[in-house]
Amino acid sequence: MIDIFQREVIVMSPKIMVLHGPNLNMLGEREPRVYGKLTLDDINNMLQERALHLGIELTIRHSNHEGVLVDEIQEAQVECSGLLINPGALSHYSYALRDALQAANIPVVEIHLSNIYSREPFRRHSVISPVVKGVISGFGPRSYLLGLEAVFYLLNESE
Ligand code: DQA
């Protein structure tokens, strides 16, 4: 970018981490009636496309392991200005993830492909939701895109 004095200005794109929790690597094959037919790669490509449009740099990670996700959250806190997370089943019982997210001093948005409030009783409660900025649930793969826009909005709002 060139500023009004014709100097070259380096514009830093905000970095956002996207974290996928347990079993989300099985999307496409896993209960397609609930989670849809898109694979995790399809969703990541959609996210990268939208990120390019918004001028965001994305770091996308997946893990089936709680401790690895805690490590990723701690990394995001240092390296990124926002975090989008689908904690999968850990949403319903992981106090370790909750503590890590509560300690992260960056805006966090929780997303779910399915509407967890319309499903089995154990899924209707998220221990994560009270410590994040907001939750998007029930829009299939679009939940991720809406979530990314929500993090982007929060970052712009805080400037
Ligand atoms: C999920 C909902 C969780 O209950 C489930 O365990 C998942 C996926 C969703 O995206 O709808 O793994 O987080």
Tell me whether residue 2 is in a domain.
no
pLDDT, position 5: 73
Domain that holds residue 146: 15-157
Please tell me what DSSP assigns to residue 31.
-
Structural domain count, the chain = 1
Task: Evaluate whether residue 6 is within a structural domain.
Answer: no
Each residue's pLDDT, cut to its tens digit, for the chain (159 residues) gives: 676 777 766 667 899 999 999 999 999 999 999 999 999 999 999 999 999 999 999 999 999 999 999 999 999 999 999 999 999 999 999 999 999 999 999 999 999 999 999 999 999 999 999 999 999 999 999 999 999 999 999 999 876
* Residue 124 located in a structural domain: yes
Testing ligand 1's pocket by substitution, the residue of 97, 112, 117, 126 carrying the most ligand atoms inside 8 A of its CB is: 112
60 located within any domain = yes
pLDDT at 1: 65
Is any ligand 1 atom within 6 A of the Cβ of residue 113? yes
Look at the block and give the residue holding tokens 């974290």: 19
Q: Nearest C-alpha to atom 12 of ligand 1 is from which residue?
A: 88
Following DSSP, what letter does each residue of 101-120 receive, concatenated? HHH--S-EEEEESS-GGGS-
User: The CATH number of the domain where 21 resides is what?
Assistant: 3.40.50.9100
